[in-house]
Amino acid sequence: MELVCPAGSLPALKAAVDNGADAVYLGFRDATNARNFPGLNFDMDEISQALDYAHQRGSRVLLALNTYPQQAQWQQWTRAVDQAAELGVDAAIIADPGLLRYAAKTHPSLRLHLSVQGSATNRHTIAFYHEELGIQQVVLPRVLSLAQVRQVVETSPVAVEVFGFGSLCIMVEGRCALSSYITGESPNTCGVCSPAKAVRWEETPQGRQSRLNGVLIDRYKNGEAAGYPTLCKGRFRVGENIIYAMEEPTSLNILDILPDLMQMGVAAVKVEGRQRSPAYVAQVTRVMRAALDSCAQDPEHYKPAADWLAALDKVSEGQTHTLGALHRTWQ
């Protein structure tokens, strides 16, 4: 299985490559990618540098064009596809069917991966994207059980990639409109579920507070770790209690089931976190590389090392990890 790691900046890309990533994924500095934060992402010159650095060290570079263009901005997205082909990236990760069709027809030699934002969860959908739009790899949404992943891999006409570590979301990828009710901007078109311009931090006598477009998302005690505010992971008053009403922050971690994923034929394991620091990328990549190599060498006797789990929990949301939907044995 290949290890695919995030790169929100050139230092993060170097951290991923230097610590054993087989491939890195990145985005342009605009709304064509789903991590459209100020200060992150790449321009054309920086991607050229990234390609040189990665290719010289045996890693591949994937370009995420994983938001949904609207009619008025269609040319911005097609120009991004043209630039991907011009740069010579190893693959473009695309969600929108129209953009996939444009890429397949205009640049037939450009390798296409279906983004997790495409929400393809069964063999019929994947076969359609492969036969009609030319995808060669699919990233599965994080809503499937392990048994369902196995069924998809067994019947998929293309290579299957799954998320292995990183932030979880209660929504089906590519189908969330939750934050748009507060910010007026959809993450599927603008590239981020909590636009930085809508985020405010306040120091109050009750503690540090985070707001999203004026709405109180969370309040933190002194010394409590404060996460980036998203509506789905906020704490709200429910009856007499203030709780994580929708989802408690935690991270996906698939180290426990690596042999299962390897045995069923999963092609790649992906790490989430283009918005995270180079230090995060280095640490997670290093641990995942060691785990994948150990599993490949002796899958029957593989067991996650305690220091791997401890290292990943330090950079996990909420300092905890879970298998998420993958552990649902009743499916």
CA 174 vs. chain centroid, Å, equals 12
How far apart (Å, rounded) are the C-alpha atoms in residues 271 and 115? 14
The secondary structure element, H or E, covering residue 10 is helix 10-18
Go through 18-48 and write b for each residue having 16 or more CB atoms within 10 A of its CB, e for each that does not. Answer: ebbbbbbbbbbbbbbbbbbbeebbbeeebbe
Proportion of the chain above pLDDT 90, given as a percent? 73
- What is the pTM assigned to this prediction? 0.92
In terms of Cβ atoms closer than 10 Å to its own Cβ (0-12, 13-18, 19+), residue 4 is: buried
Contact criterion met (CB below 8 Å) for 168 and 142 = yes
What is the per-residue pLDDT for 80? Answer: 98
> Are the C-beta atoms of 180 and 193 separated by less than 8 Å?
no
Which residue type is seen at 90? D
φ, ψ of residue 223 in degrees (nearest 5): 85, -10
pLDDT at 93: 98
Q: Where are the domains of the chain?
A: 2-168+250-327, 180-244
Average pLDDT of the chain is: 92
What CA–CA distance (Å, rounded) separates 270 from 327?
18
**pLDDT tens sequence across 41-82:** 999 999 999 999 999 999 999 999 999 999 999 999 999 999
Residue 79's pLDDT is what?
98
* pLDDT in the model for residue 323: 66
| pLDDT for residue 176 is more than 80 | no
Distance between first and last Cα of the chain: 25
d(CA 317, CA 284) in angstroms, rounded, equals 13
- What confidence category does residue 193 fall into, taking pLDDT thresholds of 50, 70 and 90? confident
Superfamily of domain 2-168+250-327: Aldolase class I (3.20.20.70)
